[in-house]
């Protein structure tokens, strides 16, 4: 190779890294503009509001009062946080595993697989109005299908599901499971499809069996997607709202009072916007810390082919 050619190649490489700064900023500009225009103002306003009592007509400075009250004297705050944490602790791992398994089962080109994928996706497509009605129907202690089936199987006192204080929260977790064929699954599917067949063939030639192929090829290569679903799964699950709002109104006896529902109540029913803003920012802090930790730890287990 001529010296001139080598030099040109070297300088191209060098400039690849030297000029990257400005270009990076340019590409993310649309988001930055949008953030400055639409997002940061309202976010800062809500942060400011959390230090006030704002009942929709007048704003009065209140210092840390809202935070003190929530964290120190409000039993419902802790109840709603506990309810939500339990929900997250169960629905996220179950959901992730379920979605991944489902995605693997559906990751084929077999004829008719589109039908199956659509069938599994159907529950996620149903609008909340219809799906909540459906679930209330299915879970109805007397005439619902589920207890109908349970009674046929010999269970004499089937659970009261949404009407029972101890079964309401598990009902919510159960309902979340029906989303395992949903967005998360599609994303896993997309991730699985991005893995080149070549890797598997090479492994086969080396004599690896199915389990080892899964462990050493599939799993590592979809860690970026697992990471995505994990982080967003937790962020989303902590904000669970609709089902409780429509179906149980937080009951019975606050068994399904989720954090976001209690927040909504403070904002729109009690007119305590300051209190609600404080709740929002406490949640923000929790989620931010969690995500930050996850990002740090991801260096160890998430594998990006294209490098960081």
Q: Which of residues 143-202 bind another protein (CB under 8 A)?
A: 143, 145, 148, 160, 162-165, 178, 181, 183, 186-187, 189-201
The residue (of 90 and 160) whose beta carbon lies closer to another protein is 160
* Reduced DSSP (H G I as helix, E B as strand, rest coil) percent helix, strand, coil of the chain, to 5: 75, 0, 25
Using CB under 8 A as the binding rule, the residues of this chain from 57 to 76 that contact another protein are: 57, 69, 73-74
Q: How many CA atoms lie within 13 A of 25 on its CB side?
A: 3
Torsion over CA of 172, 294, 279 and 132, rounded to 10 degrees? -20
CA gap 117, 102 in Å, rounded: 9
The residue (of 30 and 154) whose beta carbon lies closer to another protein is 30
Are 165 and 253 within 8 A, CB to CB?
A: yes
Neighbours of 136 (CB within 10 A): 18
Minimum distance from residue 274 beta carbon to another protein (Å) = 10
CA gap 54, 62 in Å, rounded: 10
Q: Which one of 210, 293, 297, 301 is in contact with another protein (CB under 8 A)?
A: 210
Are 240 and 84 within 8 A, CB to CB?
A: yes
Are 207 and 278 within 8 A, CB to CB?
A: no
Q: Which one of 51, 87, 90, 281 is in contact with another protein (CB under 8 A)?
A: 281
Write the interaction track for another protein spanning residues 230-269; mark x where CB under 8 A is met and - where it is not. -xx--x---x-----------xxxx-----x--xxx-xxx
The residue (of 64 and 113) whose beta carbon lies closer to another protein is 113
Q: Which one of 63, 154, 207, 307 is in contact with another protein (CB under 8 A)?
A: 307
Using CB under 8 A as the binding rule, the residues of this chain from 88 to 107 that contact another protein are: 102-107
Minimum distance from residue 139 beta carbon to another protein (Å) = 9
Site for another protein (CB under 8 A): how many residues? 145
C-alpha 100, offset from chain centre: 14
Q: Which one of 26, 64, 89, 155 is in contact with another protein (CB under 8 A)?
A: 26
Q: Which one of 11, 78, 89, 288 is in contact with another protein (CB under 8 A)?
A: 288
Q: Between helices 145-152 and 128-138, what is the axis angle to 10°?
A: 30
- Residue 39 near another protein by CB under 8 A: yes
Residue listed under structure tokens 């802790």: 78
């Amino acid at each position: 190779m001529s010296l001139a050619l080598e030099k040109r190649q070297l300088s191209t490489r060098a400039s690849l890294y030297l000029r990257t700064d400005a270009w990076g900023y340019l590409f993310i500009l649309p988001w930055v503009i949008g953030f400055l225009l639409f997002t940061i103002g309202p976010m800062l306003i809500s942060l400011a509001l959390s230090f006030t009592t704002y009942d929709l007509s007048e704003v009065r400075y209140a210092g840390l009062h809202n935070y003190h009250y929530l964290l120190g004297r409000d039993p419902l705050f802790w109840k709603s946080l506990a309810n939500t944490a339990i929900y997250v602790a169960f629905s996220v791992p179950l959901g992730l595993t379920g979605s991944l398994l489902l995605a693997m089962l559906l990751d084929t080109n077999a004829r008719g697989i589109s039908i199956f994928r659509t069938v599994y996706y159907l529950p996620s497509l149903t609008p909340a109005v219809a799906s909540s009605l459906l679930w209330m129907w299915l879970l109805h202690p007397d005439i619902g299908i589920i207890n109908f089936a349970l009674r046929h199987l010999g269970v004499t006192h089937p659970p009261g599901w949404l009407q029972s204080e101890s079964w309401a929260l598990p009902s919510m977790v159960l309902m979340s499971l029906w989303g395992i064929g949903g967005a998360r699954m599609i994303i896993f599917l997309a991730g699985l499809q991005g893995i080149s067949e070549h890797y598997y063939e090479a492994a086969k030639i080396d004599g690896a069996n199915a389990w080892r192929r899964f462990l050493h090829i599939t799993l590592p290569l979809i860690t970026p997607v697992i990471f995505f679903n994990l982080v967003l799964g937790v962020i989303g699950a902590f904000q669970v709202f609709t089902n409780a709002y429509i179906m149980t109104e937080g009951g019975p006896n606050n068994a399904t009072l989720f954090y976001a529902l209690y927040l909504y109540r403070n904002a729109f029913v009690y007119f305590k916007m300051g209190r609600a803003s404080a709740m929002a920012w406490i949640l923000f802090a929790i989620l931010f810390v969690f995500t930050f930790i996850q990002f740090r730890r991801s260096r160890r287990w998430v594998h990006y082919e294209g490098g960081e």
